[in-house]
């Protein structure tokens, strides 16, 4: 073999077997976006359990020729494609996340103050406004429904609904939902301060009544029965959510409850995060629809926050015991981040004003509300 032939062979290997000459500018942009997500997770500590696997997934799949999201020559899915196919496309991961969330959830604050269910419903305002607006921008009915649910700030619900109605938008929708969940501490405080007066932010709410063990055990059974009867399409999500909560509250399956809260939840979060991130390949993401979805998702989330606060302000006109409007911002279902933000803003107004338990009521109601909205869309369009 001559020296020229050796050079030609090396050149051929570099072109066909490495990603160096195939790395395009748009992929560099996506890798930069991946670094941004990892920066927010590691340095700023914004929802690191979500943003680390999502960011790393984006990072991995935007290198050329990587065998991660395609299919082998025998038609078998490659590594991350398998996670995506069997976990997301088959709609297994979102209900499993709801199982873990249910096992971690204490419905006591919502049971003690059932008025907060109305606040959770009011916080879904943005979902329906965004749905109408998205239709005018050229999205189909099903695509508009999948985009509109982002404002509820509930990642698993967004994934579940999008996988059913508009799977081609799954990556963009999921990334937008989880991004805004992570950025709740940045997005919500300015809206909260704009919509409330200093006097309203100082409103102190009376201590919640104690909730009995019997009430906590009966609640998931009654709530699940009512929700599934009214909106059967949401049974996979709400069924697993209430099942997890029943395991927590019944007290006789502590090992199962602990597994759902910890080991299972951690495994599912890893698989979901890297699968969602891996859908954000440059040729898919850097188009007008995904970029528009990010803008619409932000608008949606802002209006949902606005709707929750406005609902409390309206309710206060008819209540003798006033509620602090800040807890309305927790009506989006970013649990428990939104409740913590309400608590933080309350403490800034008055260092003795503890709102966390009061805000958990709307926060949990928001989980139910966003899932109910998703069930309505499924019933309408699927």
Tell me what percent of the residues of the chain surpass a pLDDT of 90: 55
Number of domains, the chain: 1
- Whether residue 113 has a cis bond before it, omega within 30° of 0: no
Assess if residue 135 is contained within a domain. Answer: yes
For each of the chain's 382 residues, which pLDDT tens digit applies?
Answer: 676 666 666 656 555 566 677 778 899 999 999 999 899 889 988 778 888 998 999 999 999 888 888 888 788 888 999 998 888 888 899 999 999 999 999 999 999 999 999 998 898 888 989 999 899 888 999 999 999 998 877 888 998 999 889 988 887 888 788 777 777 888 899 999 999 999 999 999 988 899 999 999 999 999 999 999 999 999 999 999 999 999 999 999 999 999 999 999 999 999 998 998 888 888 888 888 888 898 888 888 899 999 999 999 999 999 888 999 999 999 988 888 899 999 999 999 999 888 999 999 999 999 998 999 999 999 988 7
pLDDT tens, position by position, 313-349: 999 999 888 999 999 999 988 888 899 999 999 999 9
**How far is CA 156 from each of CA 98, 123, 126, 127, rounded to the nearest angstrom?**
8, 18, 18, 16
- Residue 283 included in any domain: yes
Yes or no: say if 64 and 27 are a contact pair by the CB < 8 Å rule. yes
- 73 falls within a domain: no
Positive or negative, the CA dihedral 180, 187, 111, 106 is positive
**Cβ 303 vs Cβ 151: under 8 Å:** yes
Spatial contact of 179 and 273, defined as CB atoms under 8 Å apart: no
Residue 48: inside a domain, yes or no?
Answer: no
- Give me the pLDDT at residue 4, please: 64
Encode pLDDT of 33-49 as tens digits. 999 989 988 998 877 88
pLDDT in tens, 177-190: 877 777 788 889 99
Phi, psi torsion values for 52, nearest 5 degrees: -65, -55
Residue 245: inside a domain = yes
Q: Which domain holds residue 356?
A: 79-381
322 conformational bin, left if phi > 0, alpha if psi -120 to 50, beta if neither? beta
Asked if residue 31 is part of any domain, the answer here is: no
Q: Is the peptide bond before 336 cis (omega within 30 degrees of 0)?
A: yes
Residue 85 near residue 163 (C-beta atoms within 8 A): no
Which tens digit of pLDDT belongs to each residue from 92-112?
999 999 999 999 999 999 999
Tell whether 69 is covered by a domain: no
So what's the pLDDT on residue 251?
92
Instruction: Decide if 366 is inside a domain.
Output: yes
Predicted structure pTM score = 0.88
Assign 1 to helix, strand or coil: coil
List, as one string, the DSSP characters of 12-35. Answer: HHHHHH-SGGG--HHHHHHHHHHH
């Amino acid at each position: 073999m001559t020296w020229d032939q050796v050079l030609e062979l090396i050149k051929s290997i570099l072109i066909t077997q490495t990603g160096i000459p195939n790395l395009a500018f748009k992929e560099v942009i996506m890798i930069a976006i991946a670094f941004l997500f990892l920066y927010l997770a590691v340095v700023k500590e914004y929802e690191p359990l979500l943003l680390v696997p999502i960011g790393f997934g984006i990072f991995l799949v935007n290198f050329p020729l990587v065998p991660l999201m395609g299919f082998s020559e025998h038609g078998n899915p490659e590594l991350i494609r398998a996670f995506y196919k069997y976990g997301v496309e088959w709609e297994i991961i979102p209900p499993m996340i709801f199982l873990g969330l249910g096992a971690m959830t204490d419905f006591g604050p919502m049971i003690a103050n059932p008025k907060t269910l109305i606040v959770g419903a009011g916080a879904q305002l943005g979902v329906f406004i965004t749905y109408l607006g998205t239709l005018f921008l050229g999205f189909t009915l099903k695509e508009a429904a999948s985009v509109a649910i982002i404002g509820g700030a509930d990642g698993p619900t967004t994934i579940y609904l999008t996988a059913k109605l508009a799977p081609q938008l799954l990556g963009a929708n999921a990334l937008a939902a989880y991004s805004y969940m992570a950025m709740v501490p940045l997005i919500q405080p300015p809206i909260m301060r704009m919509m409330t007066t200093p006097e309203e932010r100082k409103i102190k709410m009376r201590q919640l009544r104690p909730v009995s063990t019997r009430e906590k055990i009966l609640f998931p059974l009654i709530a699940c029965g009512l929700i599934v009867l009214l909106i059967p399409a949401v049974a996979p999500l709400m069924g697993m959510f209430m099942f997890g909560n029943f395991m927590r509250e019944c007290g006789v399956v502590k090992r199962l409850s602990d597994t759902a809260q910890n080991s299972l939840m951690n495994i599912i979060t890893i698989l979901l995060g890297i699968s969602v991130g891996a859908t954000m390949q440059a040729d898919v993401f850097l188009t007008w629809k995904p970029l528009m979805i990010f803008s619409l998702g932000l608008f949606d989330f802002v209006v949902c926050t606005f709707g929750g606060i406005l609902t409390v302000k309206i309710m206060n006109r008819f209540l003798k015991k006033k509620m602090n409007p800040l807890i309305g911002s927790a009506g989006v279902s970013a649990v428990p981040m939104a409740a913590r933000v309400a608590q933080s803003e309350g403490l800034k107004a008055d260092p003795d004003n503890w709102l966390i338990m009061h805000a958990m009521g709307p926060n949990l109601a928001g989980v139910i509300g966003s899932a109910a909205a998703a069930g309505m869309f499924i019933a309408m369009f699927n």
